[in-house]
Structure 1
């Protein structure tokens, strides 16, 4: 597994050593080309941060359905808040998903021009502050920390693509990045049931914390499902569809799923996505006469709307 989904210590990117930055970028570039998945350690997200978020999340999911539904994602058009079991289906051929979730994004006030225009995905978050005082401050702070980690990873990836180190980061002003907490119930009588259907992620990069339970699987090039065991204090990182389109499939957006293995599970992905107006089109050095661009340019907003409407359709 480690060869296909390598564990990469990214601590060198925080040091002022250009040669080590390049060496690190080569490791990440290889993983993005080979499987589209890798695990990172050596980041600056503390274990205490993760434990605090996990503890608060479990308290939220333990609330009654009536209480959780006060911040239902169905209350708005921007896909933020609580989603109950079976609301989102990522594999419509099988419709197997069984999970509940909380979603938040970049907070925009009601007076922001994009909110005033009722643009998709734009608006304030729905936090359960009335039910769990202190939640908002903790989650908004964690969102910012995950945004900074994403910026670090984009520096590494830009170097691997022979781009300027800050190439991607300027595109993430008031971004559409989403922080999600997922609760998978234990379902002890349904061992090995697929509870999150096979899918590729929509965005640029996904940075995932999974607890000690496991259950995540990645589809290999040989069409086999490979377990991705949790790495202590690590994150799983994978390429999303928009990065695959940006790189003309040089980087792989790989199908993955989640199995129920009989234990209650918390999973916390941070889906990185740029500003809604950002055009996703083939990057420099990712096409030539023998390998022309494969995808029509599309804005981040339009691509996400297409994917979300499919996932939440009845």
Structure 2
């Protein structure tokens, strides 16, 4: 696994010696070109914070369905809140997903102009504070911490593409990034059932914390499924569709899925996406006469709407 999905220590990016940044960027560039997946260690997200989020998530998912449904994701037009087990389907032609989820995003209050206009994805989060005291502060803090980690990774990606270091960070104002907690119930009688269908992620990068159960698989270039075992104190990072569009497929948005292995599993991806008005179009250095742009320009908002409607239905 390590050869196909390398483990990269990014701790030097937090130091002042910029000569070491390029070594990290080179390794990330190789991984993004090869598999579109890599694992990181040396980040600044505290394990005790992750464990606190997971503890509250387990408490929430263990509640009666009627209580969880009080924050149903379909209560609003911004895809925030709770999704029950078969609501989102990522590869319905080949498998039926079986997972439940909580989604949150960048919080905008009801006075924000975009919220007033009822724009997609824009508004306050639906937190189960009425069910679990302290949830909102812990989850909003974790969202902010993951946003800062995303900005660190964006700097590395920008350097790997020979862009100005803050190229992607400048697009990250009031972003559409989503933090999701997924509960995969253990299904002892359905070992190796696909519980999250094969798919690519929608955004720029996904930064995933998975527990120690396992089950994540990545599709290799020769169409084989490769296990991605958990890395202690690490995150799995993968390229999303928007980055593939920006780089004209120089960086790979790779299909992946999740298998049931008979135990309850908690997965916590942070999907990084820019401001909704950001235009996603091929970078100049990623195309030429022999390799013209493969994708038409599209705004972040329009691309996400298309993908969400496919997964949830119109």
Normalised TM-score (structure 2): 0.99
Describe the superposition over 1:150-205 as per-residue Cα deviations: whole angstroms up to 9, x where unpaired: 00000000000000001100101000000000000001110000000000000000
SS of 1:285's equivalent in the other structure is: helix
Alignment deviations for residues 82-134 of structure 1 (CA, whole Å, 9 cap, x no partner): 00000000002124100000000000000100000010000000000010010
Q: SS of the residue aligned with 1:208?
A: strand
Partner of 2:97: 97
Matching residue of 1:133: 133
Give per-residue Cα distances to partners, 1:291-310, cap 9 Å, x unaligned.
11111000000000000000
Three-state SS of the structure 1 residue aligned to 2:136 is helix
What's the secondary structure of 1:167's corresponding residue? coil
Alpha-carbon separation, structure 1, partners of 2:111 and 2:264: 40
Gaps of 5+ in 2: none
Query: Once the two structures are superposed, what CA deviation does each residue of 1:223-266 show, in whole Å capped at 9, x if it has no partner?
Result: 00000000001000000001000000000000000000000000
- Residue 224 of structure 2: aligned partner: 224
SS class of match (1:258): strand
User: 1: distance between equivalents of 2:184 and 2:47?
Assistant: 21
Please name the residue that 1:49 is paired with.
Answer: 49
Contact 2:276 2:299 in 1 (8 A): yes
Which residue of structure 1 aligns with residue 246 of structure 2? 246
Q: CA deviation at 1:74?
A: 1.1
- Superposed, 1:169-248 pairs within 5 Å as 169-248=169-248
Aligned to 2:308: 308
2:95/2:195 contact within 8 Å kept: no
In the alignment, the residues of structure 1 paired with residue 227 and residue 83 of structure 2 have an alpha-carbon distance, to the nearest angstrom, of 26
TM-superposition CA deviations, 1:133-158 (whole Å, max 9, x none)? 10000000000000000000000000
Over the aligned positions, Cα root-mean-square deviation in angstroms equals 0.7
| Aligned positions of 1:86-125 closer than 5 A | 86-125=86-125
Q: Within 2, Cα distance between the matches of 1:238 and 1:148?
A: 17
For residue 32 of structure 1, what is the aligned residue in structure 2?
32
Unaligned 5+ runs, structure 1: none
Confirm or deny: 8 A CA contact 2:96 2:194 kept in the other structure.
yes
- Equivalent position SS for 1:90: coil
1:12 and 2:15 matched: no
Structure 2 Cα separation of the partners of residues 55 and 88 of structure 1: 24
Equivalence for 1:85: 85
TM-superposed CA distance for 1:283, in Å, is: 1.1
Could you tell me how far 1:289 is from its partner in structure 2? 1.3
Indicate conservation of the 8 Å contact 2:71/2:127, yes or no.
yes
Match of 1:3 in 2: 3
Aligned to 1:142: 142
* Partner SS, residue 197 of structure 1: strand
Separation in structure 1 between the aligned mates of residue 217 and residue 17 of structure 2, nearest angstrom:
35
Partners of 2:106 and 2:176 within 8 A in 1: yes
Give the equivalent residue in structure 2 for 1:76.
76
Aligned to 1:303, the other structure's residue is in SS state helix
Q: 1:17 Cα shift?
A: 1.1
CA distance in 1, matches of 2:177, 2:215: 24
Please tell me whether residue 280 in structure 1 is matched to residue 280 in structure 2. yes
Q: Which runs of 4+ in 1 moved over 6 A?
A: none
Partners of 1:310 and 1:95 in 2: CA distance: 15
Residues 203 and 240, structure 2, Cα contact 8 Å, conserved in 1: yes
